Structure 1
C-alpha cells in the first residue's frame, strides 16, 4: 500500500495534460472495442477459435466485451484506473497469445502490444490529476 501512495504522490507532482489525454484516448479505444465486440459477436467467436479447445469459451465471450465497455469508461474518467487496467491485462495478454496460436495478424498483434504497453504505463503511473480519483481524494 505504501508503494501505491508513493506512486500517486509522484504522479500527482509530475502530471501533464497530454498524459491525461492519452489515458482518455485509451478509455475511448477500449470502449469502442467493446462496442465492436458486442455488435460483431461472431468476430469475437472467430478470434477465440484458436484457444477454443482449452475451455471457458463462453466465459471469455461474456467477459471480454463488458470488461472493455466498463473498463473503458472507468479509464476515461480516471475512476479506479488501476483496477480497470488490471481487468484489461488478461484480455490483452490473451490477444497476444491468440496471434501466436492462430493465424498471425500483424496489425492486431501491434495494436494489442501497444495497448498493453500503454496499460502497463498507466498501471504504474495511475490516473493523474485530471481524473475522478484525484477529485474524490481532494474532497475528503
Structure 2
C-alpha cells in the first residue's frame, strides 16, 4: 500500500465531527475571499505586483490573478461541500503559501492577515491529511456507491 493510501486511511479513521464544521468554515472563507478578489481585482493585482515575488509580464500577472480568484471560488466551494477535499486543499496550498511568505510577511506594517493566512495554511495541511470527514459529499457518494453494490 502506498503512502497516500495509508495517510488517507488514517485520516478517515481519525476524524472528529467538529472538524467538518471547521472544514465548512474554511471553505466559506476561501469562497468569500475569492469573491472579494473577483470584485476587487485591482487590489489583488496590486498585492501581486507589490510583493515583488514576480517580475513577469502583465499577462503572467493576469494569469496569476485569474488562478488565485477562480481557485479560491471553486476550491472554497468544494471544500465547503466536502467534495475532493484533499485535492482542493492541495491546489490551494501554493496560493496561501505565497500569501504568507511573499505578500503578508513583507508588509511594512503589522498585518493581522498574516495570522489569518497562517491559520488557513495550517488548516489546509490538516485537511490535506485527514480529508473530508463524515459530513461531506465524498462520504455520501461513497456510502451510496457501496450500498448500490450489495
Task: Give the equivalent residue in structure 2 for 1:40.
Answer: 40
In structure 1, distance between residues paired with 2:104 and 2:62 = 20
Task: Check 1:102–1:49 CA distance in 2 against 1; reply closer, same or farther (3 A cut).
Answer: farther
Are positions 1:84 and 2:84 aligned together? no
Q: How high is the TM-score relative to the length of structure 1? A: 0.89
Task: Check 1:127–1:15 CA distance in 2 against 1; reply closer, same or farther (3 A cut).
Answer: same
Are positions 1:62 and 2:66 aligned together? yes
Which structure: greater helix fraction? 1
Q: Which has the higher mean CA deviation after the structures are superposed, 45-54 or 121-130?
A: 45-54
Q: How high is the TM-score relative to the length of structure 2? A: 0.84
Structure whose CA Rg is larger: 2
**Match of 1:61, SS?**
helix
The number of aligned residues is: 140
In structure 1, distance between residues paired with 2:21 and 2:54 = 40
Please show how residues 1-140 of structure 1 align to structure 2 within 5 Å: 2-50=2-50, 51=52, 53-55=54-56, 56-96=60-100, 97-138=102-143, 139-140=145-146
Task: Check 1:85–1:41 CA distance in 2 against 1; reply closer, same or farther (3 A cut).
Answer: same
**Match of 1:54, SS?**
coil
In structure 1, distance between residues paired with 2:2 and 2:138 = 17
Structure 2 residue runs of 5 or longer lacking an equivalent are none
Q: Which has the higher mean CA deviation after the structures are superposed, 114-123 or 50-59?
A: 50-59
| Structure 1 ranges of 4+ moved more than 4 A | none
Check conservation: 2:31, 2:74, Cα contact below 8 A: yes
Structure 1 residue runs of 5 or longer lacking an equivalent are none
- CA-CA distance at 1:88 after TM superposition: 0.6
**Match of 1:79, SS?**
coil
Task: Give the alignment's Cα RMSD to 1 decimal.
Answer: 1.8
